[in-house]
Amino acid sequence: MAEKYHKIKAVGDSAILIEYKEEVSPEVNKKVRNLAYSIERHSFPGIVEVVSAYRSLMVFFDPLKVNFKKVSDFVEQVAIDSVEIEPSQPKLFKIPTVYGGVYGPDLDRVSEYTKLTPNEIIHLFSSNVYLVYFLGFVCSLACLGGIPEILEVPRLNSPRPFVPAGSVGFAGRQANILSINQPSGFNYIGRAFVTVYDPQKFPPTLFRPGDYIRFPSVSLEVGKSAGEKDLGDFIESI
């Protein structure tokens, strides 16, 4: 039996928000993913879309076909009846990353904050494995968790108006690899040249919630060479 969510509430007239414990953790996120998968599997009439986040999920519905009470009753019953499910075998992506210099403009800032040397930060970050908690914000952005505690550095006071696609960074307990050029206040310490988002393909990214990513450190030559390959070339078995 699935563990009951912490809170459920209406969001406007066409969505409900289901929240679990207020923390970024694999355990909580697995409950979110399990409930999202179970809701989608039941194909309840009137539900339009299910969108997951770190510790919550939003269920959008057509208010002309179904109301909040019917959807919330359905979600509650699914939460009670669901068994723990892993919808698919997770994948591990090892994405070659170039660290520091113009490709990692915040490496020195992170070094100053943590009192670690740039090489220590690169080694610590690149040897870790990060869980894909969900895809969101813009263009299938992979929102990650699993940052070593010593690297939990706050966001920039003023976000940069432009950060290149492929930039790899983190803030607090969250990390990401940017799918497109965009503004961001995260601390970016490296960049990958592999294309992780292609709007001409479906799906536009191979990342899925529940997958894992590593960012091994490579030379600029190797990193740019990797950019000529497909994202699928960097999948390894777990």
Taking only the tens place, the pLDDT of each residue in 47-86 is 999 999 999 999 999 999 999 999 999 998 888 776 666 5
Q: Which CATH class is domain 7-81?
A: alpha beta
Concatenating the DSSP letter of every residue in 195-230 gives ----TTSSSS----TT-EEE--B--HHHHHHHTTS-
Q: What is the pLDDT of residue 58?
A: 95
Task: Work out the pLDDT band at 1, boundaries 50, 70, 90.
Answer: very low
Taking only the tens place, the pLDDT of each residue in 133-178 is 999 878 999 999 999 999 999 999 999 999 999 999 999 999 999 9
Mean pLDDT across the stretch 15-43? 90
Q: What is the pLDDT of residue 238?
A: 73
Taking only the tens place, the pLDDT of each residue in 77-124 is 888 776 666 556 899 999 999 999 999 999 999 999 999 999 999 999
- Write down the CATH superfamily of domain 92-236: Cyclophilin-like (2.40.100.10)
Q: Which residue has the tokens 């790899």?
A: 168
Cα–Cα distance list, 147 to 52, 132, 160, 204 (Å): 20, 12, 21, 26
What are the boundaries of each domain within the chain? Answer: 7-81, 92-236
Q: What is the pLDDT of residue 219?
A: 98
Distance CA 8, CA 237 (A): 37
Taking only the tens place, the pLDDT of each residue in 200-223 is 999 999 999 999 999 999 999 999
Q: What is the pLDDT of residue 176?
A: 97
Mean pLDDT across the stretch 179-191? 98
| pTM reported for the whole predicted model | 0.86
Burial code of 129-156, b = ≥16 C-beta within 10 A, e = fewer? Answer: ebbbbbbbeebbbbbbbbbeeebebeeb
